[in-house]
Amino acid sequence: MNRIVVGNWKMNTNFKEAQKLASSINVSTKNFKNVKIIICPPVIWIAKLNANLKSQISNFRFGSQNIAAQEKGSFTGEISAQMVSEVADYAIIGHSERRRFFGETDEIVNKKIKIALKNNLKPIVCVGEFSKDNAQDESNFGSIHQQVSQSLAGLNKEEIQKIIIAFEPVWAIGTGDNATGEYALKIIDSIRDRLSIIYNREIASKVKILYGGSVDDKNISEFKQKGIDGVLVGGASLDSKKFIEICKKMEV
Ligand code: PGA
């Protein structure tokens, strides 16, 4: 079984730190067979990291943390999917921090997903509810399903199979208050059911769906279960020991 571990470094690391972190992860995981590791450093470091690691890369890939919603042109400060595709294979799209601090709606997320696919970047699409209060309610599932259907609207059968979805409850991100494996699986199953309705069961079974939100080396076993295809790690991905331990537990 091919599991996925994504490391989202967010706006952290100088180049020296990035290089140290990437190379220790790469060295420690280069013989892994069952887990694909996707590191998403600040985009400015990716080309240099790529050049330095090239000869050792096996199951290790790079992704960006975002891409522009426009293809090219006069959009000062933005980085296009085409530019990212020259240095990376994946792009995180619609992370809750982008939705919250930069006003990204499902419509914008949808636009970015389509631009990513057009440029051969595989999107890692984040969805998740804001509050823990009604987390168990069916109405809350509805809000997650709405994000799924609107963010992925208009993708055909081939395109949907290139998508990785990360279910990340916003209340669990960076708080140390991770969801239980049971809850993560329940929502992931319901997202897969939703995809079965839109596409069909066979296609839905091929879409990778991860859990993210305060995953670390201590709680990772919760999320290593059938139905959960891997994890998206924020804070703990900046600590090489913790991150390598997470990858190891997913590998065996
Ligand atoms: P966290 O972040 O692991 O620090 O909770 C996850 C994320 O932001 O994707």
Over range 203-214, report the average pLDDT. 97
Q: What is the pLDDT of residue 139?
A: 63
DSSP secondary structure string, the chain?
Answer: --EEEEEE--S---HHHHHHHHHHHHHHHTT-SSEEEEEE--HHHHHHHHHHHGGG-SSEEEEES---SSSSSS-TT---HHHHHTT-SEEEES-HHHHHHS---HHHHHHHHHHHHHTTPEEEEEE--S-STTTTSHHHHHHHHHHHHHHTTT--HHHHTT-EEEE--GGGTTTS-PPPHHHHHHHHHHHHHHHHHHS-HHHHHHSEEEEESS--TTTGGGG-STT--EEEESGGGGSHHHHHHHHHHHH-
Q: What is the pLDDT of residue 207?
A: 97
Q: What is the pLDDT of residue 57?
A: 66
Highest mean pLDDT among 29-38, 139-148, 235-244: 235-244
- What pTM did the predictor assign? 0.96
Q: What is the pLDDT of residue 164?
A: 98
Contact partners, residue 137, CB within 8 Å, separation at least 6:
none
Dig out the tokens for 72 from the structure. 């090219």
Catalytic option among 71, 168, 202, 251: 168
User: Quick one: pLDDT band at residue 53, thresholds 50, 70, 90?
Assistant: confident
Cross-strand pairs, 92: 124
**Hey, which of 101, 165, 173, 239 would you mutate to test ligand 1's pocket, going by the most ligand atoms within 8 Å of its Cβ?**
173
Per residue in 106-122, pLDDT (tens digit) is 999 999 999 999 999 99
Q: What is the pLDDT of residue 141?
A: 76
Q: What is the pLDDT of residue 130?
A: 81
Residues with Cβ within 6 A of ligand 1? 8, 168, 173-174, 212-215, 232-236
Catalytic option among 95, 129, 145, 222: 95
What is the whole-number distance in angstroms between the Cα of residue 197 and the centre of ligand 1?
A: 29
Per residue in 125-171, pLDDT (tens digit) is 999 988 777 666 666 677 899 999 999 999 999 999 999 999 999 99
Tokens 């069961």 -> residue:
201
Q: Is 145 a catalytic residue?
A: no
